[in-house]
Amino acid sequence: MDLFTLALNFFLIANPVGNIPSIVALIKDFSFDRQKKIVFREGVFALLIALGFQFAGSQLLTLLEIQTYTVSIAGGIVLLMVALGMIFPKPAVAEEQALQREPFVVPIASPIISGGGVMSSIMIYTELTKNSFLVSSALILAWCAVLPILLLAPYLKRIMGERGLIALEQIMGMVLTLLSMRLVVQGMKIYFTGNT
């Protein structure tokens, strides 16, 4: 897997576009300038969490004696659950309560941006490629696109409105569904054939 393909996978799984409605709903009561600072800071923290987990993930797999196919299948299922929640949002999601205090890492950096899907995919690709530098580079490259989109979140809310953002979220949910099924199939392939 080359650098660009890996970065594209991380970008799609981090799903900054689909997460815009949730993020905007959480910070809607802060000033417009403050919103931009919050999403940028949380995007940077999300990258740091992802990079930190990359180096801790391999040790965690070894310690718990968890095989690559297990992580792939479990990661695919988690991602599928997230994707289905985006495609078929509950009525309450559109009216998510704004935070009373400014968020710090939780819940925006993690689990919204660097959530279970990102963590499991980091472990999978680190194990499959056997190249930590490639995975780190791909994460940084992916975040070169994630951060600008997060910074555009307050603007997109004004331009597209609530309905437009929900439609965008559902489209990204469909993409995540495909990615999640690929992870599940990949895990089953590794289990049955032993080939990565």
For the chain, domain boundaries: 3-193
Q: Report yes or no: 107 and 44 within 8 Å, Cβ to Cβ.
A: no
Residue 15's Cβ-count burial label (10 Å; 0-12, 13-18, 19+) is: buried
Place of tokens 């999640």: 180
Confidence of residue 91 (pLDDT cuts 50, 70, 90): low
* 39 vs 79 pLDDT, higher one: 39
* Residue 46: per-residue pLDDT: 93
Q: Which residues pair with 104 in a beta bridge?
A: 106
- Report in angstroms the alpha-carbon separations of 176 from 4, 15, 153: 18, 8, 19
| Residues 62-81 pLDDT 10s | 788 888 788 788 878 888 88
Closest C-alpha to 38, from 104, 117, 127, 113: 104
Collapse the DSSP code of 3 into the 3-class scheme (helix H, G, I; strand E, B; otherwise coil) and give the result.
helix
* 164 vs 196 pLDDT, higher one: 164
| Dihedral sign, Cα of residue 173, residue 176, residue 180, residue 186 | positive
Q: Round the average pLDDT of the chain to a whole number and report it.
A: 82
Per-residue tokens: 45: 């923290």
Residue 96 has pLDDT above 70, yes or no: no
* Residue 93: per-residue pLDDT: 41
* Residue 92: per-residue pLDDT: 46
* Residue 94: per-residue pLDDT: 42
Confidence of residue 44 (pLDDT cuts 50, 70, 90): very high
* Residue 142: per-residue pLDDT: 95
